[in-house]
Each structure stands twice: as structure tokens, then as C-alpha cells.
Structure 1
Amino acid sequence: MSSLSSFEYPGEFYEVIRKDFRDLAAETEFLASYLPPGGSVLDIGSATGANLRALAALGHPGTGLDQSAAFTGYAASKAPEPGSAAVEYVHTRAEEYRTDRRFDLVYSLFSTLNQLDRGELRQLLESVRGWLAPGGHVVVDIGHLLNFVDGYQPNIIAHHQGDGLLVTRLARQSVHAHRAVWRNEETIIARDGDGTVSMYANFFDQTVFTAPEVRDLLVDAGFEVVAEYGGFRKEPGPRIGRGPLLFVARATATGEEAAA
């Protein structure tokens, strides 16, 4: 991804942070509702693999793509639940991934796709269309303009605890107005169970999209948007800015497919 980003810190620290922002049970139920029994999944921005492990426990084999070597290594090291379907983790940038496989569901959560600029997102969605099995769906969870505006804070101090760890994020947000890009610079300070303290620099740029832009990009890439939600419990879009914005789409038929 051409936008700057760095997530090279231990996966166990990310897991502690993630639990304060995410509802894994709701995400799993939402994603599984678009899968046939045993249907396969591709996770773009799989991070430490929490979503893939949860779906694998329900019998859905999966592949995860992530640009962080640390997160991919952590995900691969986690033992699956007994009886889980197979999961593969690939350390790669999504726009560089190539495969002949077809998946019943391709999804990207937690504003991962905001790390692409508009041209890159358009190209990736075109690739995603080719990765879908007939009848498959794509789920896009994206940070939208009102979300960014409502959540903007120039400086953030946040503490996250779990599994004997204490993780503190010191974050600074800034805006590049002409590019419509949000810069996030973070210092992550972590104390593990034996009292050892470590510190990591983390930064990422996010392109600010509006909902109509994302909808148009999906349509231009050959998709039909079949549902839009404001959360993983299929609630409507928020009337205030804060909160996720979910698009569910499926590929429209090409001339050859329609004639088949």
C-alpha cells in the first residue's frame, strides 16, 4: 500500500488493543451469515487472525493477508481450536496478492481499506471481483468522512489491559486537507506480566472516503451493493458520525456469465 503505515509490534499487544474496539462475536455472526456451510473466506488485513480463527472454528477455511510481519507471525503461531478448518496466513500487501483460488466471502474490516488511496482501492476491488466464487459476497467495513470528523482528537492517551499486559497508546492525529488524508502517529508502551517495558513507534495514513464514493467504487468494479449497515448487528447507519459503515456486495454478471 503506497500510504505510509507501520504495524511492526508484537501481536499480543495488538490483541489487547483490539478487544477494546471490536466485538468479535458480532463480527463472526455477521460474516458467517453470508457464507454457505464450509464456505471459504479471504480476509484482507487479517492482522493477528482473530476473525479467521473464529470462522475456522465454525468450519470455514480461510486465507489472511496482512502487511505486518509481526502480526502475520503471531497469527500463524496460534494453535487452532480442535476440529477447526484450515487457515493460511500470507505476509503481503493486498494489492500485490495473486491467486487462482475463488472464495465464497472476501472481507476487510476495521478501516483497513482506508490505508489505500482512491486509485489503489479501485484496483483492489477489481481484483476482489475475480477472487469471488459464483454467488459470493464482499464485505467492506470502511472509515467514512463523518466518522473521522466526529472522532478527531489532536492528541490521545489510552490505556488497554488484558492477559496480564498493560498497553498505553500515545497518539497524535493530523490532517492533510488537500489530499483528504488522516495521519496517525502513535507511541505504544507495553508492560508485560513480569514487568518488562517495551516501546514501539506506529504510524499510518488513512484516506478519508464518503459513503457515496465507496458505493460508486464498488459499482465501478463490477459489484451490486445488496446491503448497507452501521454495525455488525445489522443495525442501520448511524445518525451521528461515530461508528462503522458496512457495505455488502456481490458481483454483477458479465455478458459471458449471463449467457451461460
Structure 2
Amino acid sequence: MTSFEFPGEYYEIMRRDFRNLAAETEFLASCAPPGSRVLDLGSGTGTNLRRLGELGYSCVGVDQSASFVEYARRAGGEGVEYVHGRAEDFATDRRFDLVYSLFMTLNHLPHDKLRTVLETTRCHLAPEGRLVLEFGHLLNFVESYQQHTVAHHRGDDILITRLARQSVNPHAATWRNEETLLVRDADGQVSLYDNFFDQSVLTGPEVRGLLAEAGFTVTAEYGGFRKEPAPGHGRGPLVIIAAPTPKEAI
């Protein structure tokens, strides 16, 4: 289960503390030329899509958060369309040159939905298209686990204090993240939001196996968006590029 129903402008502030938009944009642009059709599964507030739209891509974003999609639509973006819905429910007759899912969106899917989502994504791709997945794998979770954390995020005279609690369900191989956001706006008003999300614990071999079963061939793996090698010790996120496997090779 996942809940991200708080104002998108606050997510944008927090996102800047975790992500490198320039590196992500350069990476994604290297996977498909300008003018390509792009699908973002788990598009959040549309940060990546707005940047790609500026570069001439035709973009569609899908996200389950009504608040984030509302913010993304208000923020606009040339050639960008937003759909409110879950990745596993998204259906379209259109074909895309690039489909991507970043920032642990894959981990937010239940284990029993992963193969179906990847098979559906295979149908969304053009024959020469590419799929980019960024996900956290086992040691990511083990090493970053903290039962309680407090973090502060600042932007445009807004202060966000994030109080987070993690708990583990070992039988389901999931992490539950429960967060309380205390937000002080520029006018001194304070608001409170409760947020939670579950993340499935994945491993590299598991995802590679699911991709093969869904009709994909892994073409590259990296340890980040600077295309650095995936570290041998297994820590940090894993970024995988995959292509549809030709039918004659299946």
C-alpha cells in the first residue's frame, strides 16, 4: 500500500535533496533521441517529464497520487500529458520509444504485480524501444534501515520536518515507511501530513529473471545515472536498461 497525498510543491522540495535532475535527464536522453515518445511510470510531480518535454520529447506520465498529478498538471510542460492511476492498471494503444520507472517506483509494487507490470510494459514499447528501471535492492534496505529518522528540507521560505519510522515485515519481504510531515510555510502557518508507503525488497537476480520472463533482454547495468559501474559490493541503487527480446529469440 502507498499513500502520497500531500501537496506536490512539498514533494518537489524534498526530491531536490535526494535526486540529481541533470544527471537523470542526461541519462534518459541518451536512451532515445529528441522527438521520441516517452512513458514515465510513477511520474510523481512530473519533474523528469517537464525537463524532457523542454528537450523535445513527447511525454506521458502515470502516477497514483491525485495530489502529485494535480501539481504536475498545474506546472504544465510542453508536450507532457499526465494520467492519474496505478502503473499496473495503465492501458493504452500507444507505443513508446522509452519507458522508465525511477526513484524506487518498482519497489512500491507488490511482488505479485511485478511480472504483470513488466509484461504490460513490454506491450507499451516500440520494437526498438528501451526500458529503464531504477530500483533499490537487498543491501540498499539492510544498510539504510533506521527505525526512526528526522530530516529537514528547505526551499522558498518553506521548512519541512520529516519524522519517519521504518518497520519490517520479514514474511512478506516488505518495508513499511510511516512519515509525518510538519510544514512551516512562508507566512508562518504550520500544517501536518501523514504519509506512508510499503516497499518490496528486491534483488538484482530477481528483477533480471522477471525481465527475461516478460520478454526483455538486459543491455546495460549501472550503479547510478552517471553510468558508473554497478558496485561489486551491491550497495546503492541499480539502474537497468532493457530492450524487447525479438520474438524469434524467445
Note whether the superposition's TM-score is higher than 0.5. yes
In structure 2, the partner of 1:35 is 32
Identity of aligned residues (%): 62
Q: Judge conservation of contact 1:164–1:192 (CA < 8 Å) in 2.
A: yes
Distance 1:188 1:241 in 2: 31
- Listed as ranges, the matches of 1:18-29 within 5 Å are 18-29=15-26
Q: Which of 150, 167, 172 is equivalent to 2:165?
A: 172
1:69 matched to 2:62? The reply is no
In structure 2, the partner of 1:12 is 9
TM value normalised by structure 2: 0.97
1:205 matched to 2:198? The reply is yes
Deviations 1:26-75 (A, max 9, x none): 00000000012310100000000000001001100100000000000000
RMSD of equivalent CA atoms: 1.1
TM value normalised by structure 1: 0.93
| Distance apart, 1:242 and its partner CA | 4.2
| Distance apart, 1:192 and its partner CA | 1.0
Q: Which of 107, 111, 118 is equivalent to 2:100?
A: 107
| Distance apart, 1:134 and its partner CA | 1.7
In structure 1, the partner of 2:217 is 224
- Listed as ranges, the matches of 1:86-101 within 5 Å are 86-101=79-94
| Distance apart, 1:241 and its partner CA | 5.0
In structure 2, the partner of 1:137 is 130
Deviations 1:159-189 (A, max 9, x none): 0001221111100001001111001000011
Going from structure 1 to structure 2, the CA distance change for 1:194 and 1:247 (only over 3 Å counts) comes to same
| Distance apart, 1:79 and its partner CA | 3.5
In structure 2, the partner of 1:54 is 51
Distance 1:219 1:33 in 2: 23
Secondary structure of the 1:37 match is coil
| Distance apart, 1:253 and its partner CA | 1.0
Q: Report the count of equivalent residues.
A: 249
Which runs of 5 or more residues in structure 2 are unaligned? Answer: none
